[in-house]
Amino acid sequence: MKLSHISELSLLENIRSTFPRRSRNIRVGIGDDAAVIKKKDQNLIVTTDMMVEGIHFDLTFITPFQLGFKLISVNVSDIYAMGGKPSYVLLNMALRRNTTTQFLDMFFDGIKEAMHKYDTTLIGGDLSAANKEMSLSATVIGYGKKYIRRSSAKAGDRIYVTGNLGDSAGGLEILQRIQMHVPLDYERAKMKNASGIRTFHSRILRMGLSPETAAPLIRRHLMPEARNPEPFIPYATAMMDVSDGLQIDLTRLCKESKVGARIYEEKIPVSPELMKAAACLNATPLRLALSGGEDYELLFTAPPGKKVKAIYIGDVMEKGMVIISRSGRGKTFPAEGFQHFGNKKDR
Amino acid sequence: MKLSHISELSLLENIRSTFPRRSRNIRVGIGDDAAVIKKKDQNLIVTTDMMVEGIHFDLTFITPFQLGFKLISVNVSDIYAMGGKPSYVLLNMALRRNTTTQFLDMFFDGIKEAMHKYDTTLIGGDLSAANKEMSLSATVIGYGKKYIRRSSAKAGDRIYVTGNLGDSAGGLEILQRIQMHVPLDYERAKMKNASGIRTFHSRILRMGLSPETAAPLIRRHLMPEARNPEPFIPYATAMMDVSDGLQIDLTRLCKESKVGARIYEEKIPVSPELMKAAACLNATPLRLALSGGEDYELLFTAPPGKKVKAIYIGDVMEKGMVIISRSGRGKTFPAEGFQHFGNKKDR
């Protein structure tokens, strides 16, 4: 059987049963955002994430700086999603031989910018050539006195997210139409003339959008920022980051916690920019918010009665996965979102 | 400038200066076999290594089981080379969509076999699709009360290796000629008929070699075993593993330690199998032993007067890199070995 015929979830299940946890020091093994190893008074929290050219990124859209920044952000996001504080980074890079040193310099600038932002240090890695596709991965090591799993949500808890959903998916849609590098801060500072900005503006206007609407969405896709969980650690019962889309990620959290969920359409936070852009993209903001990936907002649960500075979107139930429409009608929602090996469109 | 025009060493230097060490807890950062983080009474030792299809491995030669085993061995070898004990593994796999589940099962069997051998546990990782090349990496986390750097060899120390050199390079040469999977234990146990073994025997005999000579060399290339440094930890002053060839690796160790070395041709350990095979391979055993990579023996230094259960090959000097021939003539040796981005033949 080919991988394209089995789901990523069942492959993961296979790996989990093939490689059982063997030590009580491993508090969290395969299947959560990151692994947790108990070490005296601290927990060591470790994660690793890949970015493969043609699968996770397209160099037509993303600049080297943005790519470096994103590689660190997506990994830090997993440490944050466990309630940890990131500390150390290891970097693997398989690079095509025609990669230029200019490309690498800008890529490293992006990595540096993100590592500075998250207060982490590079401690190692590996370099290799690649014949066809650039392949990147980072391992991030963090620490935490406490850690927050996906599997500890309780019926009656409330469900929260830390920010707007769907922006990244909207940004990706726009990028796929304008087919160009979008100069954000770093690129603007480096640019000798404004032709890139002019081209960007004209292509966006041709789509019927304003640059002010498009740019924040594009930024969310190209340079996502991981959300620090610190304010929520005292009371969060379960937590993960929204990387593959709210529906699939909430389904995962509920499955791990053996609970259900009821969320409200009207409470799903959507940015004003996405509201404006959605019409041009032949998509509803809600659909992008529910199935679009790579927002990297935190999704977490907390008992009722807590003063939570995040956006309440629904409640943990005994079972069932239901979304309540604006008209009050309940609908079971499918675990729609990104799957790597399936035949669906990959990003 | 393209990567193919700069050396891997200078790229590494660039990375080291771009990303300075920022915390005193980081005892060893970029540039050694693994990173070391000081944590109370233990050191956390972390390494990550990639294996990219078409660069590090060729699926014409290596079976999925052997590939899985090797991926773990090469990473564990880096932990061992720091004097650490490996504990936890994270695995990144970017797989082509036409990869079969049978392939994966055998690959996981190889990983399991190696993880069992080194007493380690899988705690996480990432799965991705790949369009063209399979790309694998592992991160291994280990611990050690002590750690042994590359940079602490002293003039007057003696230089040791833990076993024969050049076998892996010899094995690779043979594989490139016979162009087939060589069934070792696992594959033999799985095989329904003996046709693979018969084909192997006939191709080897056609080269003028016996299967008994060829098999151990091939095994060293396909399923290298990492060497446990435990016996040497009490007195080793500097240590690394021989992954890119004795000459280049000893040069690295000496450069980091700011010393020189004098080694003796007649003391370089070469297996009887390599002696026999070398003639058919148009190479001298010495050349394979000096420049062949992937032996994964430990290379270390220790003060004189210690009873060291390893093979003495020479001495640490104030400066210069010299090899003494059997006739007693000294010759400066170049840092020959494997470089990823150069125009030399890649393996």
DSSP string for residues in A216-265:
HHHHHHHS--PPP-GGGTTT-SEEEE-SS-HHHHHHHHHHHHT-EEEEEG
Residues B88, B120: contact at Cβ < 8 Å? yes
CB atoms within 10 A of CB B38: 15
Q: What is the mean pLDDT of residues B133-145?
A: 94
The answer to whether residue A136 neighbours chain B at the CB level (below 8 Å) is no
Reported as a single tens digit per residue, the pLDDT across A42-79 is 889 999 999 999 999 999 999 999 999 999 999 999 99
The type of residue at A222 is: L
Residues A16, B113: contact at Cβ < 8 Å? no
- Which pLDDT belongs to residue B239? 97
The answer to whether residue A332 neighbours chain B at the CB level (below 8 Å) is no
CB atoms within 10 A of CB B142: 26
Residues of B in contact with A111 (CB under 8 A): 19
Residues of A in contact with B135 (CB under 8 A): 50, 52, 94, 130, 133, 135
pLDDT over 80 at B334, yes or no: no
A141: nearest CA partner in chain B: B46
Residues of A in contact with B34 (CB under 8 A): 124
The shortest CB-CB distance from B133 to any of A56, A132, A137 is to: A132
Hunting for tokens 């546990």 — which residue is that? B121
Contact A135 B132 (CB under 8 A): no
Distance CA A221, CA A293 (A): 9
The answer to whether residue A98 neighbours chain B at the CB level (below 8 Å) is yes
A119: nearest CA partner in chain B: B22
User: A127: burial class by Cβ within 10 Å (0-12, 13-18, 19+)?
Assistant: middle
Distance CA A246, CA A257 (A): 16
The answer to whether residue A126 neighbours chain B at the CB level (below 8 Å) is yes
Distance of CA B37 to the CA centre of its chain: 23
Q: In the sheet that A330-332 helps form, which strands lie side by side, from edge to edge?
A: A238-241, A298-302, A158-161, A311-317, A260-264, A321-324, A330-332
- Which pLDDT belongs to residue B26? 81
Q: What is the mean pLDDT of residues B92-102?
A: 92
Q: What is the mean pLDDT of residues B93-101?
A: 92
Residues of A in contact with B132 (CB under 8 A): 54, 131-133
- The ranges assigned to domains in chain A are 3-144
Contacts of A283 (CB under 8 A, 6+ apart): A170, A173
Lowest-pLDDT range of A32-36, A281-285, B26-30, B342-346: B342-346
- Which pLDDT belongs to residue B340? 59
User: A157: burial class by Cβ within 10 Å (0-12, 13-18, 19+)?
Assistant: buried
B117 vs B29 pLDDT, higher one? B117
Distances (CA, A) of A344 to A155, A172, A340, B114, B290: 33, 16, 8, 35, 50
Note the ipTM here. Answer: 0.90
Contact A131 B133 (CB under 8 A): yes
Q: What is the mean pLDDT of residues B147-151?
A: 93
Cα four-point dihedral sign B194, B196, B200, B203: positive
DSSP percent split of chain B into helix, strand, coil, nearest 5: 35, 25, 40
* CB < 8 Å from A in window 2-21 of B: 2-4, 6, 8, 11-12, 14-15, 18-19, 21
pLDDT over 70 at A242, yes or no: yes
Distance CA A47, CA B251 (A): 34
Q: What is the dihedral of CA A254, A259, A263, A268, to 10 degrees?
A: -30
Distance CA A337, CA B123 (A): 25
Residues of A in contact with B38 (CB under 8 A): none
Q: What does the buried/exposed string (b/e) look like for A22-39 if buried means 16 or more CB atoms within 10 Å of the residue's CB?
A: eeebbbbbbbbbbbbbee
Q: Which two tokens stand for residue A304?
A: 């009722």
Distances (CA, A) of A175 to A200, A271, B197, B212: 10, 18, 54, 59
B93: nearest CA partner in chain A: A50
User: A139: burial class by Cβ within 10 Å (0-12, 13-18, 19+)?
Assistant: buried
The answer to whether residue B320 neighbours chain A at the CB level (below 8 Å) is no
At residue A264, φ and ψ (nearest 5 deg) are -115, 120
Contact A98 B2 (CB under 8 A): yes
Distances (CA, A) of B129 to B45, B62, B99, B303: 30, 21, 10, 50
Q: What is the mean pLDDT of residues B294-306?
A: 96
Reported as a single tens digit per residue, the pLDDT across B212-249 is 999 999 999 999 999 999 999 999 999 999 999 999 99
Q: How confident is the model at residue A108 (pLDDT cuts 50, 70, 90)?
A: very high
Point out which residues pair with B311 in neighbouring strands: B161
Strands B238-241 and B121-130, sheet pairing: unpaired
Contact B26 A122 (CB under 8 A): no
Distance CA A192, CA B246 (A): 48
Distance CA A91, CA A73 (A): 13
Contacts of A78 (CB under 8 A, 6+ apart): A33, A34, A47, A49, A140, A241
pLDDT over 90 at B25, yes or no: no
Alpha helices by DSSP H, listed for B118-194, are 167-178, 185-190
Contact B121 A88 (CB under 8 A): no
Lowest-pLDDT range of A98-112, B7-21, B231-245, B258-272: B7-21
* CB < 8 Å from B in window 49-68 of A: 49-50, 52, 54-56
Contact A21 B125 (CB under 8 A): no
B331 vs B336 pLDDT, higher one? B331
pLDDT over 80 at A338, yes or no: no
Distance CA B100, CA B59 (A): 13
H-helix or E-strand containing A149? Answer: none
Distance CA A338, CA A252 (A): 12
The number of CA neighbours under 13 Å toward the Cβ of B107 is 19
CB atoms within 10 A of CB B250: 28
Residues B130, A52: contact at Cβ < 8 Å? yes
Does residue B166 sit in helix, strand or coil?
A: coil
The shortest CB-CB distance from A135 to any of B2, B37, B135 is to: B135
A226 vs B127 pLDDT, higher one? A226
The type of residue at A84 is: G
Contact A108 B141 (CB under 8 A): no
- Which pLDDT belongs to residue A335? 59
Domain boundaries A3-144, CATH class: alpha beta
Please spell the DSSP secondary structure of A163-215, one letter per residue. Answer: S--SHHHHHHHHHHHH-S----HHHHHH-SSSHHHHHHHHHHHHTT--HHHHH
- Please give, rounded to a whole number of angstroms, the shortest distance from the CA of B182 to a CA of chain A: 24
Q: In the sheet that B35-39 helps form, which strands lie side by side, from edge to edge?
A: B26-28, B35-39, B42-52, B135-144, B85-96, B121-130
Mean pLDDT of chain A: 90
Q: Which two tokens stand for residue B168?
A: 């892996």
